Amino acid sequence: MKNRATKTVFLLLACITLAACGPKWHEAGQDGFKLITQKGGATLGYNSAPLLTVDGYAFKDLNRNGKLDPYEDWRLPAEERAKDLAAQLSIEEIAGLMLYSAHQAVPDTNLTDQQVKFLTEDNLRAVLVTTVESPEVAARWNNKVQTLVEGMGHGIPANNSSDPRNETAATAEFNLGAGGRISLWPTPLGLAATFDPALVKRFGQIASEEYRALGIATALSPQIDLATEPRWSRFNGTFGEDPDLDTEMARAYVDGFQTTPGTKDGWGAQSVNAMVKHWPSGGPEEGGRDGHFNYGKYAVYPGGAFETHLKAFTEGAFQLEGGTGKAAAVMPYYTISSGIDPSGDNVGNNFSKYVITDLLREKYGYDGVVCTDWGVTNDNRAIEAFDGKCWGVEGLSVAERHYEVIKAGGDQFGGNNDKGPVLAAYRMWVKEFGEESARARFEASAVRLLLNSFRTGLFENPYVNPAVSAEVVGKPEFMQAGYEAQLKSIVMVKNHGGALPRTRSKVFVPQRYYPQTPGMFGLWMGAPAHWDYPVNRELVEKHFDWCNSPDEADFALVMIQEPYPGTGYDVKDREKGGNGYVPISLQYRPYKAVYARSESIAGGDPKEDFTNRSYKGKTVTTYNEADLDLVIRTKKQMGDKPVIVVVNLSRPAVLSELEPYADAVLVTFGVQNQVVLDIVSGSAEPSGLLPMQLPADMRTVEEQQEDVPHDMRPLVDADGYAWDFAYGLDWAGVIDDARTAKYRKP
């Protein structure tokens, strides 16, 4: 018995020892990949990479050399892993990391020939995803991409990214119990109108979960340009004109996107890298003309407020409350920040050593990825052309522009799928500074770029389960959160005589004229000009009784858009002998620029034989003047009965033309029509505040300084209320709460 007991104890100890030394992981097949879960270790997703077992844990042998390299060891710090891998890479592989693809739509799960080429031949690993057919399709496409690159070289995963994709359309429907393709939120300007950083952080948390379910690990957002120029067409992508609000919103947004709860440093498998844009702010564009075009290439600082524009970066996105510390990446804007560089070098921000190295890296200590805006190294054919944006370096070759970006301190080239110019830039560095210096410079960029993939867990598991994607993206609780944010973003600026809310009553909704307008890419947007109702009748009838005649109605609901004047440049003016520059008007009626500058602050281009870009004395007509006519006509038809005007804004507008004809005015920033009806009917109460001033007239617009916030005279309505920053009404009157106490200016 004694010998038998001894043998039993020995066998038991042997089993315990074997168990302790044996595998600590379990493998299961998934839809398109294999998943390894391990107690106390990282979750691994893989397809073709061999596995290594060390101390009972599983690791992927991504470079297939039969040993565990530091970069393959998920137990090590991300920075140590990135440095190890960067040192192993060839210059051709590093050049691939420095590429960022042009926009890639995902209509199905198949990779295009172009995608296969830039992933295999050019070693590209940063892919910009645009439209996707569905969450499941996006997941399967991602898995095919990851399977392809896992089998190559060092097995570096793709770091897929996206521009903002959660903004809604007016006609989108919401059903409380149903999900959607993705949760729907107001524009960033609408988020700013909530004056609620906690809400913005929650948006980031939800959106990041949806992004990761789509196979997206980098967000090309937030756009934290300080929008001090009211005519700028990209105003709606910002958090408005106030530096304090912009700073807090920037911090909340990045914290929400980048933080994985429960991790030591905030980074993890739920994190999405945030690429903040556009350093050092694209807000102060002269005359409001946008830097996507040659005619908008200059940002100006007549008020000397350059430092004010940096605050959202230096005190917001670079000083996070969460463990990730700072935004993972920064994108400079296209513009030439005129007169800022002490050396007098007047080049686009992406090419400026002063802007990127002297300020961003050295003065403010930013050591993350710097990625150019899209297409800055390409040629520009004409002043009005939407193509290359090589401002200030038009005379250089494409390869030389790449070299200038690298010398300035940049790491990555937005919109370039071709490694050729990057390798040419490497050879230029070798010629000027030597091989050792060139290798060190390129390796430094490689480390920064790889860090964003290591910290987000892509080297462990870049795959996503399509079934989980379908469940997560647009799930009901996310849709509900987005809908509530839309409600909170609506600003009531006028409510004369308590015209709102309207309980169940008869409503007249006039048809609106929809003009066809030119878009950013030089094409006409939307359907041909036509008349139509701005809101679905069935949706309206959930709240009100629809009337076809104003005589039968108790009130009218007029839904319009802000004035749309064009882009500030007109080829026809140039063909008639002018300089091509015309006003950007924020009013509906034709506008003559009587108070514009006689001499522009900045100017000059190889394609122009003049430097004065003034448009003083010229007249511009908006495309949608009919919107104002509609308000006036409806008021005449309704007589003493209330007219409720809902105007959707993407930037400030001169609403003094319509204010006398409206009993109530609601300002929206990209919301569903259903949200508007909830406010009008009293199902919800307005709580939003203006994230910018609404100017009294175009004179104050012309006389304000492009770089200075809060420097316009606001509209004052018939009730004596100024439509100023942080102003808004609820049912009781002017909102006066903790938000206004904190942000409203004296």
Residues in contact with 447: Cβ distance below 8 Å, sequence separation at least 6, in sequence order: 79, 82, 83, 86
Candidates 225, 246, 255, 373; catalytic one? 373
Closest CA to 369 of 91, 78, 130, 98: 98
Distances (CA, A) of 549 to 97, 553, 647, 664: 62, 7, 22, 20
Rounded CA separation 734/737 (Å): 10
Beta bridge partners of 27: 36
Tell me which DSSP letter residue 661 carries: G
Residues in contact with 740: Cβ distance below 8 Å, sequence separation at least 6, in sequence order: 689, 726
Backbone φ and ψ for 56, nearest 5 degrees, come out as: 85, -5
Residue with tokens 């004047």: 565
CA 532 to the chain's CA centroid: 31
Candidates 242, 255, 290, 411; catalytic one? 242
Are 702 and 593 within 8 A, CB to CB?
A: yes
Distances (CA, A) of 2 to 5, 11, 13, 20, 473: 5, 14, 17, 27, 64
Instruction: Give the type of residue at 79.
Output: E
**Complete DSSP assignment for 697-732:** SHHHHHHS-TT-SS-SPBPB-TTS-B--TT--EETT
Residues in contact with 385: Cβ distance below 8 Å, sequence separation at least 6, in sequence order: 293, 294, 522
Rounded CA separation 218/208 (Å): 9
- Strand pairing class (329-332; 369-370): parallel
Backbone φ and ψ for 174, nearest 5 degrees, come out as: -130, 130
Rounded CA separation 340/299 (Å): 10
Rounded CA separation 380/580 (Å): 17
SS3 category, 488:
helix
Is residue 242 annotated as a catalytic residue, yes or no?
Answer: yes
CA 148 to the chain's CA centroid: 29
Are 205 and 519 within 8 A, CB to CB?
A: no
* Secondary structure, 3-state, 350-361: HHCHHHHHHHHH
Are 216 and 165 within 8 A, CB to CB?
A: no
Is residue 373 annotated as a catalytic residue, yes or no?
Answer: yes
* Residues present in the chain in total: 746
Rounded CA separation 703/712 (Å): 8
Rounded CA separation 265/447 (Å): 18
326: left (phi over 0), alpha (psi -120 to 50) or beta: beta
SS3 category, 76:
coil
Beta bridge partners of 34: 29, 46
Closest CA to 563 of 581, 582, 584: 584
Task: Say how many C-beta atoms besides its own lie within 10 A of residue 711's C-beta.
Answer: 16
Rounded CA separation 517/633 (Å): 23
Distances (CA, A) of 301 to 603, 689, 702: 14, 27, 15
Which are the catalytic amino acids? 242, 373
